Amino acid sequence: MGNSIEVKDLTLNFGSVSVLKNMNLDVAEGEFVVLLGPSGCGKSTLLNCLAGLLDITDGQIWIKGKNVTWAEPSDRGIGMVFQSYALYPQMTVRGNLSFGLKNARVPQGEIDKRIARAAEILQIQPLLDRKPAALSGGQRQRVAIGRALVRDVDVFLFDEPLSNLDAKLRSELRVEIKRLHNQLGNTMVYVTHDQIEALTLADRIAVMKGGVIQQLAAPLEIYNRPANLFVAGFLGSPS
Ligand code: ADP
Ligand code: MG
């Protein structure tokens, strides 16, 4: 299987501050890679670079064999889910799910089909005609995931999608995200600072500190053979 995402010598500076430092990362097709690290280490910045929401300072980003370093976000074949749900409050769930597709001139029949499928997978059929204000936090985050799902892309980027939820919902949705990945076989890059999430979801974990990947390996490998004291300490400390 080929690589779905290739990050080559990526550097991102904000002014004179280097936030990502000459980073390299390959994600295989269908792989679930978790970016794990403390607040401020550059996880969101890396995701935003992949999504095309930030101009990088140096290096290249390839997605599915295409150099997308300077491609528009909508041309990268990715779907992104943010930490805050960012749903349109005046629209119903159905409206939120169809908005991006209408803009992309996807035919209505196809929109309906994709919404029905996403709603079934995420079990939000009964919510389609409600507005976000009438939903719980967990339901809103499902809709946010649904918005990535209906785009019918192979690569999903998740930025701490569960961090605003309580512990019970977090563990429920964690299981669902795992199931979703098993079912769809898509490529996932998932940001978290939660060790449990990383250990249970990831095929491989990239442990980050200060804009540098400290170790990139399978969860057990990282847990049993941490590359350095930082990795050992971070995995061992309670979240
Ligand atoms: P994480 O998601 O791992 O918590 P971020 O990627 O959000 O970290 O941020 C990494 C670093 O970049 C932090 O030091 C942050 O203050 C800085 N940073 C993030 N966005 C900007 C910006 N727009 N301008 C300047 N500095 C930023
Ligand atoms: Mg972040």
- Ligand 1 atom at minimal distance to the Cα of residue 39: 4
Nearest ligand, CA of residue 163? 2
Q: How far is the CA of 42 from the centre of ligand 1 (A)?
A: 6
CB atoms inside a 10 Å sphere around CB 174: 19
pLDDT at 239: 46
Section 74-83 average pLDDT: 89
**Cα separation of 193 and 37, whole Å?**
5
Residue 173 has pLDDT above 90, yes or no: no
Q: How far is the CA of 43 from the centre of ligand 2 (A)?
A: 6
Q: Kindly state if the Cβ of 19 falls inside 6 Å of ligand 1.
A: yes
Q: Kindly state if the Cβ of 88 falls inside 6 Å of ligand 1.
A: no
**Cα separation of 155 and 53, whole Å?**
16
> Which CA distances in Å does 6 have to 165, 166, 217?
31, 34, 16
How do residues 7-58 score in pLDDT, each as one tens digit? Answer: 999 999 999 999 999 999 999 999 999 999 999 999 999 999 999 999 999 9
Residue 236 has pLDDT above 90, yes or no: no
Angle between helices 93-103 and 137-149 (to 10 degrees): 20
Supply the ipTM of this predicted assembly: 0.97
Residues 6+ apart with CB under 8 A from 185: 30
Task: Give me 226's structure tokens.
Answer: 């941490």
Q: Whose CA is closest to 204, among 186, 226, 189, 225?
A: 189
How buried is 21 (Cβ within 10 angstroms: 0-12 exposed, 13-18 middle, 19+ buried)? middle
Q: Which of 10, 12, 19 to mutate to test the pocket of ligand 1 (most atoms within 8 A of CB)?
A: 19
CB atoms inside a 10 Å sphere around CB 214: 20
Q: Whose CA is closest to 197, among 219, 225, 212, 179?
A: 219
Residue 213 has pLDDT above 80, yes or no: yes
